[in-house]
Chains A and B, each alone.
Chain A
Amino acid sequence: QVQLVQSGAEVKKPGASVKVSCKASGYTFTSYYMHWVRQAPGQGLEWMGIINPSGGSTSYAQKFQGRVTMTRDTSTSTVYMELSSLRSEDTAVYYCGSGPNAFDIWGQGTMVTVSS
């Protein structure tokens, strides 16, 4: 079936980087852009950026420019989101989402905890 499966929870120290993966299956990987959204504990949804799995082009929210990098591996139908210079405010669940209407499919979420 159509699904996005994300990598497991991470605990990082301030200043470190984290790389979250999102593996697509059940559809043609290169057909739809992939978005990344995060949700801090008890808070709403925040869009981080988008990657075109076909050509690899990206667009990032201004807030994350310079700290986020989105990449893809077409051989494994996987996209990656790397966030650097982590701080406590980056503690959140990170989601990937895709589909013809942007968020037809969602990953299960990856909890990233930033703590010293």
Chain B
Amino acid sequence: DIVMTQTPLSSPVTLGQPASISCRSSQSLVHSDGNTYLSWLQQRPGQPPRLLIYKISNRFSGVPDRFSGSGAGTDFTLKISRVEAEDVGVYYCMQATQFPLTFGQGTKVEIK
């Protein structure tokens, strides 16, 4: 199975300041079709997760442009340019390149 490792596991951030989460996979996430199926999910307290970013850097419908994804191969990053109160929650990276799909441990973003 592909192991997804996120850092940090907790990220206290000041409102309006940037935040960054890293995700590393135990093997390349490049699929044989040429795509890299790395997604980022946000889970607000008490809610189901929701898709933020797919295929490394594509923002899902309705996701604010302060969220951006980057990376390649085995190293990926989610950035929030200016954290807002509604961004509080847990963020997961997820790979769908190979079965079983696997998730990172989650990074808790909270306001200082």
Interfacial residues, chain A to chain B (CB-CB below 8 A): 35, 44-47, 50, 59, 61-62, 95, 99, 101-104, 106-109
Contacts and interface: CB of A to CB of B under 8 A. Distances in A.
Interface of B: 37, 39, 41, 48-51, 54-55, 60, 92, 94, 96, 99-106
Main secondary structure of the interface of A (DSSP, over half): loop
A61 B103 CA distance: 13
A22 to B, nearest CB: 12
A50 to B, nearest CB: 8
A80 B65 CA distance: 36
Contact of B106 (A44, A101, A106): A44
Nearest to A48: B100
Nearest to A109: B48
Nearest to A101: B54
A59 B100 CA distance: 9
A44 B90 CA distance: 9
16 contacts: A44-B104, A44-B106, A45-B106, A47-B100, A62-B100, A95-B48, A99-B51, A101-B39, A101-B51, A101-B96, A102-B37, A102-B94, A103-B39, A103-B49, A104-B60, A108-B48
A62 to B, nearest CB: 7
Contact of A47 (B48, B60, B103): B103
